[in-house]
């Protein structure tokens, strides 16, 4: 059970990082 919790939290972190990267990239494109 602890493994599942750790895995889901790691996935959530990865998703958040990916979303923030996409936001930064889209913002960069609109600035140009």
CA 10 to chain centre: 10
Residue 28 has a pLDDT of 85
What's the whole-model pTM score?
A: 0.57
Residue 21 has a pLDDT of 96
Residue 4 has a pLDDT of 86
What does the domain layout of the chain look like in residue ranges? 1-32
The per-residue pLDDT for range 1-32, each reduced to its tens digit, is 788 889 999 999 999 999 999 999 999 888 76
Residue 3 has a pLDDT of 85
DSSP 11-27: HHHHHHHHHHHHHHHHH
């Amino acid at each position: 059970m602890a493994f599942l919790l750790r895995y889901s939290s790691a996935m959530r972190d990865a998703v958040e990082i990916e979303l923030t990267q996409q936001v930064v990239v889209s913002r960069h494109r609109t600035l140009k």
